[in-house]
Amino acid sequence: MKKAKKSPWKKPKRPFPLTLVLFLCASSLLLLGTVSGIRATLTYFSAYYTAQIEAADIGVTLVENGTDLSYRNYSGRDNRWNTHTGTLAATLPDQSGGKIQLGRLYREELSLRNSGKIDQYVRVRIFRSWVDEAGEKITTLSPALIDIHFLTDTWLLDESASTPERTVLYYPYILAPGQETPLFADTLRLDSAIASSVREETQVREDGTIVIRAIYAYDGMRFCLEVEADALQTHNAEDAIRSAWGVDASVSGGILRLG
């Protein structure tokens, strides 16, 4: 049997997604009054795409309050990844003397920078939730009480993909190498309504003393933030976005539009 001849045409390269994932879990003031962080981790989801990369560099960096927090960059020449891991919102307690105050706005300015050498489009997904002391998610507590102010005047909000727990934002313009996006978030606060979620428990001691305790629904819980940032090459952008992000988008004049 004759072997089939290889086609002289090369198979088009698939879009290459770069994904940066960051995690934060912080303790609620109702129990400890302090913040503890989970080390941020960087995750790349598709080994198949890695094999499709030519000698081009792509990278993305999460910038927090003007400082590079975490990044994941690929060097085509060396065929290696360069990553750095930080802790998200680690300075929040320092902004109020070591304790987070309910209802207070904290500076939490977040943006992305193209730390590669090719143009790219970027998106971010921000997840909010509550977890117990064992790290298990608590679905009965409202993520809306973890109040992040998103700047949707310069970012596109994907309402169809967003939920009370998840917010999906796209930067609609091409991000050139070295360029930083406008902020996609600028403040964070724990809603003071947390303190109103309380019930009383009455106990009568043997000596007849009546003890009334206030039990907060959020005692022992931690709020958890997860920021996931993705960067895609601009070549064949519509196909790249559909393949890697599962989103139908149009690109005209370099401007990305959803739907």
Give, for all 259 residues of the chain, the pLDDT tens digit. Answer: 544 444 433 434 444 444 444 344 333 333 322 222 222 233 333 333 334 434 467 888 989 999 998 888 877 777 787 888 777 777 776 776 666 777 889 899 999 999 988 899 999 999 888 887 787 887 777 889 889 999 999 999 999 999 999 999 999 999 999 999 999 999 998 888 777 766 666 777 777 777 666 566 666 677 788 888 888 888 888 988 888 888 899 999 999 999 8
Q: What are phi and psi of 155, to 5 degrees?
A: -115, 145
Asked if residue 1 is part of any domain, the answer here is: no
Domains contained in the chain, number: 1
Residue 200, domain member (yes or no): yes
Is 81 inside a domain boundary?
Answer: yes
Assigned domain for 10 exists: no
Q: In this structure, which amino acid lies at residue 193?
A: A
Burial of 76 (C-beta count, 10 Å sphere; 0-12/13-18/19+): middle
Tokens of residue 134, six digits = 């064992």
Q: What are phi and psi of 27, to 5 degrees?
A: -80, 140
**191 falls within a domain:** yes
Q: Which residues contact 76 (CB under 8 A, 6 or more apart)?
A: 53, 54, 55, 56, 57
User: What's the chain's length in residues?
Assistant: 259
> Would you say residue 161 lies in a domain?
yes
Asked if residue 166 is part of any domain, the answer here is yes
Distance (Å, whole) CA 171 – CA 230: 11
pLDDT score, position 157? 96
Contacts for 122 with CB less than 8 Å, ≥ 6 apart: 60, 112, 114, 170, 171, 175, 181, 229, 230, 231, 232
Of 124, 22, 105, nearest to 69 by C-alpha is 22
Q: Which residues lie closer than 8 Å to 90 by C-beta, 6 or more apart?
A: 35, 37
Neighbours of 105 (CB within 10 A): 13
How far, CA to CA in Å, does 112 sit from each of 70, 128, 141? 10, 19, 30
CB 70 within 8 A of CB 61: yes
Question: Are 184 and 157 a contacting pair, CB within 8 Å?
Answer: no
Tokens of 23: 């995690």
Rounded Cα–Cα distance for residues 101 and 188 (Å): 11
CB 122 within 8 A of CB 155: no
| 181 vs 76: CA distance, rounded Å | 24
Residue 154, in any domain of the structure: yes
Range of the domain at 174: 17-258
